C-alpha cells in the first residue's frame, strides 16, 4: 500500500512538472508573439513617418514600449534571445524591399532599393551585394562609396575594386548614387535611410558579423565615409576614407573613439583643399590621442592611421585600406563613450552606443562624455558652439574652427546597462555634470530589452537594464 502511494505521488509530481513546463513554454511563446507584434507595429509606424514628410523623418523620435516584465539575473540571456528572435521575425514580416541574398561578387549581380519620395524624388539606389571567398559562418561586411564621376562608370569601378582588394572572405555592399547634381552626397537624408535599412536588414542575417562592419570610399565617397564614420561610429569596427577631406565640423573626430580610423590622401591633392583638410584631421586625431590615450578599460582610445602620401595627387594606391580595416573588431560595450550629437542634413541620431536621448537640451549640438569605472557612471553633458577661424578665399569654405562648451541643462538621457558595463548585482552610481543623481541596484526588465532593440537593431545591444536621468 505504501509503495502504491509512493508511485502515485511520483507520477503526480511528474505530471505537475510536465504541466508547468508546458505552461512556461506557452507563456514564452505568447510573450514572444506579443513582442514581435509590438516590433512590427513600431516598424510600420516608422514607415508611415518616412512616407509622410522629410520633417517627420528628420525628427527621428524614440519609442518606449508598455510591455514590462521584471526578470531574475539567470533569465537575462534567455529573454535577450527571445527579444532578438521576435525582432528578426518582425523585420522579415515587414512589407518592404529586402536586402538581396549575396552571390559571388565576381558575378556582379544587381539589385535596387526605391528610397522614399519624401526624402528625395525619383531616388532609386542600385547596388551590388556579394560574397568574396569561401567561408562558412559570419563574415565581415564592407560598405563602399564611389566617387563623383558619371555614376554608372563610378559604380562599375567600385565593383572592380571590391573584387580586387585583398580582404576576403567578406561581404560587399556597393551602392550607386541615386541622383547626380545636388543630390550627389552620400550623407543626405535619403541615403541615411538606405544605410539604416542596410544595417537593420543585414544584422538579422546569419552570415553577417555585427562586430565587423566597415565603411570606406574614394573622393566623394571619401567625404561620405568620413561623415558616416563619425555619425554611425557605434556600428563600425573601422572606417577608411580616401582622397577626401571634410571640415571637422561635419565629422567630429571624438565620435570615432573606439574604432579604427584610416585616412589616406595624396600630399599634392589640392582640389577643394583635400590635403589641408586631411592634415587638420590628422592633427585633431593626434591631439585627441595625446589628451586621452586610453579608455576606462585601458584600451587605446583613438587608433588611427592618417597619411598624406608623398608625390601623389587625387589618384592614390587604394589597395592599402581594407586589409588595414579588417584587423579591427568592434567593442560594442566601451566604458568610455565620446559623442558629439550633431545634425547631418537636418537629422540627429537618437542614440549612440549605450546612450539614448529622450529629450535633447538644445536643437544644436550636445557633447556627451561618459566613463564607467567601478560601477560609477560619470557623464559630462555640454552644449557645443562652433566658430569658424579659417575660411578659404575662393568659395568661403569653413576650414578650421574653435569650439565653445557650456554645461547643458534641460535634457533627459537614458543610459542602457548590462553586465559587460557594470556589475548589476551591486548598486550603480550615476553622476551627471558633477552631481550624483542615482545610486541603487538596477533591475533587469523586458521593457529595456525591447526599447534598446528598437533603438539600435543590434544583436549585441539588447540591454537588460537602463537608468534615466534628467539634467
Q: Kindly report the average pLDDT of the chain as a whole number.
A: 94
* Closest C-alpha among 218, 236, 229 to residue 318: 218
Asked if residue 39 and residue 150 are part of one domain, the reply reads no
Domains identified in the chain, total number? 2
Asked if residue 71 and residue 53 are part of one domain, the reply reads yes
Convert the pLDDT of each residue in 422-439 to its tens digit: 999 999 999 999 999 999
Q: Which of 59, 93, 127 represents a domain boundary (last residue)?
A: 93
Burial 161-189 (b: 16+ CB within 10 A, else e): bbbebebbebbbbbbbbbbeeeebbbbbb
* Residue 280 covered by a domain: yes
pLDDT greater than 50 at residue 83: yes
The confidence score (pLDDT) of residue 16 equals 44
Convert the pLDDT of each residue in 367-398 to its tens digit: 999 999 999 999 999 999 999 999 998 889 99
* Distance, CA of 152 to CA of 43 (rounded, Å): 33
The confidence score (pLDDT) of residue 438 equals 98
Total-model pTM: 0.94
Report which of residues 20 and 294 the model is more confident about: 294
Asked if residue 60 and residue 111 are part of one domain, the reply reads no
* Residue 415 covered by a domain: no
Whole-angstrom distance between the N-terminal and C-terminal Cα of the chain? 72
Asked if residue 273 and residue 211 are part of one domain, the reply reads yes
Asked if residue 114 and residue 15 are part of one domain, the reply reads no
Convert the pLDDT of each residue in 153-175 to its tens digit: 999 999 999 999 999 999 999 99
Asked if residue 283 and residue 162 are part of one domain, the reply reads yes
Residues facing residue 144 across a β-bridge: 216
The confidence score (pLDDT) of residue 15 equals 45
Asked if residue 84 and residue 109 are part of one domain, the reply reads no
Asked if residue 203 and residue 305 are part of one domain, the reply reads yes
Asked if residue 167 and residue 212 are part of one domain, the reply reads yes
Report which of residues 136 and 249 the model is more confident about: 249
Domain that holds residue 134: 103-331
The confidence score (pLDDT) of residue 5 equals 55
* Residue 134 covered by a domain: yes
* Residue 302 covered by a domain: yes
* Distance, CA of 368 to CA of 255 (rounded, Å): 10
The confidence score (pLDDT) of residue 405 equals 98
Asked if residue 212 and residue 163 are part of one domain, the reply reads yes
Stretch among 27-31, 249-253, 267-271, 286-290 having the lowest mean pLDDT = 27-31
CATH number at residue 241: 3.40.50.1820
* Residue 429 covered by a domain: no
The confidence score (pLDDT) of residue 189 equals 98
Q: Which of 54, 72, 93 represents a domain boundary (last residue)?
A: 93
Q: Mean pLDDT throughout 342-364?
A: 97
* Residue 21 covered by a domain: yes
Q: Mean pLDDT throughout 403-407?
A: 98
* Closest C-alpha among 296, 168, 175 to residue 225: 175
Asked if residue 16 and residue 57 are part of one domain, the reply reads yes
Q: Which of 43, 63, 93 represents a domain boundary (last residue)?
A: 93
* Residue 390 covered by a domain: no
Convert the pLDDT of each residue in 12-60 to its tens digit: 544 444 544 445 555 678 999 999 999 999 999 999 988 899 999 999 9
pLDDT greater than 80 at residue 4: no
What percent of the chain is predicted at pLDDT more than 90?
Answer: 92
Q: Is 298 exposed, middle or buried (0-12, 13-18, 19+ CB in 10 A)?
A: exposed
* Distance, CA of 134 to CA of 155 (rounded, Å): 24
Residue pair 377/429 in contact (Cβ under 8 Å)? The answer is yes
**Sign of the dihedral defined by the CA atoms of residues 105, 108, 111, 115, in that order:** positive
Asked if residue 45 and residue 125 are part of one domain, the reply reads no
* Residue 426 covered by a domain: no
Amino acid at each position: 500500500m505504501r509503495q502504491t502511494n509512493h508511485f502515485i505521488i511520483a507520477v503526480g509530481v511528474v505530471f505537475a512538472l510536465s504541466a508547468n513546463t508546458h505552461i512556461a513554454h506557452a507563456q514564452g511563446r505568447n510573450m514572444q508573439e506579443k513582442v514581435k507584434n509590438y516590433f512590427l507595429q513600431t516598424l510600420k509606424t516608422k514607415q508611415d513617418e518616412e512616407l509622410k514628410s522629410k520633417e517627420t523623418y528628420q525628427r527621428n523620435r524614440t519609442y518606449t514600449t508598455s510591455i514590462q516584465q521584471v526578470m531574475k539575473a539567470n533569465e537575462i540571456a534567455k529573454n535577450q534571445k527571445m527579444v532578438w528572435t521576435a525582432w528578426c521575425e518582425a523585420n522579415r514580416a515587414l512589407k518592404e524591399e529586402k536586402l538581396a541574398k549575396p552571390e559571388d561578387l565576381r558575378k556582379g549581380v544587381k539589385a535596387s532599393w526605391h528610397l522614399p519620395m519624401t526624402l528625395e524624388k525619383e531616388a532609386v539606389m542600385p547596388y551590388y551585394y556579394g560574397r568574396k571567398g569561401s567561408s562558412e559562418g559570419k563574415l565581415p561586411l564592407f560598405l563602399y562609396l564611389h566617387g563623383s564621376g558619371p555614376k554608372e562608370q563610378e559604380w562599375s569601378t567600385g565593383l572592380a575594386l571590391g573584387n580586387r582588394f585583398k580582404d576576403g572572405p567578406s561581404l560587399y555592399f556597393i551602392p550607386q548614387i541615386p541622383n547626380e547634381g545636388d543630390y550627389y552626397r552620400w550623407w543626405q537624408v535619403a541615403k541615411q535611410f538606405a544605410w539604416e535599412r542596410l544595417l537593420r536588414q543585414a544584422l538579422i542575417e546569419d552570415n553577417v558579423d555585427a562586430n565587423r562592419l566597415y565603411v570606406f570610399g574614394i573622393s566623394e565617397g571619401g567625404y561620405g565615409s568620413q561623415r558616416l564614420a563619425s555619425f554611425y561610429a557605434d556600428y563600425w569596427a573601422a572606417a577608411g576614407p580616401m582622397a577626401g577631406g571634410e571640415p571637422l565640423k561635419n565629422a567630429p573626430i571624438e565620435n570615432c573613439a573606439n574604432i579604427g580610423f584610416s585616412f589616406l590622401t595624396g600630399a599634392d591633392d589640392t582640389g577643394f583643399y583635400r590635403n589641408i583638410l586631411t592634415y587638420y584631421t590628422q592633427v585633431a586625431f593626434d591631439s585627441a590621442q595625446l589628451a586621452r590615450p586610453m579608455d576606462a578599460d585601458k584600451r587605446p582610445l583613438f587608433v588611427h592611421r592618417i597619411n598624406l602620401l608623398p608625390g601623389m595627387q587625387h589618384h592614390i594606391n587604394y589597395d592599402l585600406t581594407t586589409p588595414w580595416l579588417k584587423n579591427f573588431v568592434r567593442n560594442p560595450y566601451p566604458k568610455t563613450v565620446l559623442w558629439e550629437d550633431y545634425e547631418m542634413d537636418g537629422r540627429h541620431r537618437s542614440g549612440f552606443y549605450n546612450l539614448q536621448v529622450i529629450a535633447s537640451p538644445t536643437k544644436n549640438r550636445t557633447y556627451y562624455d561618459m566613463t564607467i569605472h567601478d560601477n560609477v557612471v560619470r557623464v559630462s553633458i555640454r552644449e557645443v558652439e562652433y566658430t569658424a577661424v579659417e575660411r578659404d578665399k575662393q568659395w568661403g569654405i569653413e576650414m578650421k574652427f574653435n569650439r565653445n562648451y557650456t554645461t547643458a541643462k534641460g535634457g533627459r538621457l537614458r543610459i542602457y546597462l548590462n553586465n559587460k558595463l557594470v556589475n548589476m548585482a551591486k548598486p550603480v552610481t550615476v553622476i551627471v555634470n558633477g552631481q550624483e543623481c542615482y545610486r541603487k541596484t538596477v533591475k533587469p526588465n523586458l521593457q529595456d530589452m525591447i526599447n534598446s532593440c528598437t533603438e539600435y537593431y543590434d544583436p549585441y545591444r539588447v540591454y537588460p537594464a537602463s537608468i534615466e536621468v534628467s539634467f
